[in-house]
A and B are shown apart, each in its own frame.
Chain A
């Protein structure tokens, strides 16, 4: 039996990027995936005459004709073929008025709101718009973007891990940003509270509210969105995953689907192989794992083989948020429905910490509504459109739901989400639903095999934020031939983050194999 140079466990975004890069470098690679298609979250599914995007809201790393974006470069490096669609927008935040709110107005849709912010692309335009909505916020917003332009120096420092953390001392603002939360930093910069709330709208893409999340990383993400706008693949994210699948094969790598790793074989205190579907053994020298540390250490290894520190890390960390998504195939166009934006965030309260608190239960009133036709007009047949509603929850929100209650519960949550959108946008959705699919945490648990069904990894808390995770990455790995990649690692969730960790793990493995270790 052949011993592979590298076995990659899981064909999520991280695993795909890892396998492609290892194969490109000439290593013999076996990529194992329990599902029958690649991508994990990056996939698609068909209902009737609609093909739905299951998870991707927007990619911030798709550049323009002049300059490729960071995510685009991941694909360019391996010459994977994806047709990108671009859109010059960031987000629209709508906060409907509640009883007792004083600062209200009727917006363009005829809805009484406290916030309606449609934010443009471009640092200057974004800052001006924010100032128009909340007078007196321009200079703090501009300052933040100035900082964000400088912050890429920090990432240059990260390139050479041997010099860390000392080398960061040369960029004092970076050290300030990374060690303070969004709230602390924006307060210090003098941004009015209401402007902060609008500025912080993307917090849910990272899964930690303003009082928890570090300013550096948030700014980094917002910077990418505001700089380049939104990108999306033409044929749903299944296209991205299949394009990498093809390159792995072209580079001579093997991919086995329906092939779940059910055990890690240990030899001399470190991984030497895996058992697939409980029956077939395959051996490898290096391992890159896109599955969750929790699954690996509780299900794939004997307790005696698990390094003590790994158990401690599992116990210290909090599983990140879970998502609920409603996919709607509509028998009306977006114009007929009255939808004017690609991405609208509807929040019960503009404050991210209050949104976080509310999201401990179903249904908090927090809902993101996306309309893919805004970017890809012909993504559905003529006269139709597709919508995609998302809300998030934290913790074991399914605890009182029995199997026989599940269908009714799902329908109720979906109905609440749809009605929230109808009210907040003063539009009608329900009568025009031709296809509907509802995904709750059990759906994601089924397809992603993650604890609680989270797609987000471990919560990026104040004490366990991106930069320390990055600096500690190698020390955090359980064995010297076993590297994790994906949402559980330094950058948390997000397509770009997962590809990054896959490429990084591949780089380390390639280096080792070349050095003959």
Chain B
């Protein structure tokens, strides 16, 4: 297969970026999107040019590190996949593909397609945990039965990989899907309910402080989320937030 790639290049956070064009041939349809980038970088390096910086690590769709905005969609055209799990068979021979970084003022660009998502870490630090020490001297794991439906819903919310596709996709750069997934996971479980009010207040405050926008119920985040995190979580968080605000 052959492709024309239009890739965002930006040397550093402060420098001005631009789209550059690259042509690739002999691409196998079984290659992953990132393996196609490996081929391109190999070529650039052999030509003594600067390779394209992009984040990636596990390459099996779970670490949440890869983050490319492909043809106007976070993680590209596939549904429920990360960039690393996107394969070239999803494109047509001869396609022109645009690749950009996540764009949000809360995710400053480090270089090329690499951005800084530490705002997400700071949101979790503001309250995305159960306040229990790690001594192991808790009660037996089976002491509190949890209805399977609640446990399953908590799990579904907990599968968020923190990649930031929701923010990149949202016209408001809102982080509501990310934040609500963690709020929901913990408020659905008895272990997390004790501090649920405090948690939602603190996490929403931190989200605002980081400069993420608000939610206007467009639902694009849910469509582009590689883990299929549901909008229901946002509704649940709004409810929890309102409840906690009323004291």
Partners in one complex: no
Which residues of B are interface residues toward A (Cβ below 8 A)?
none
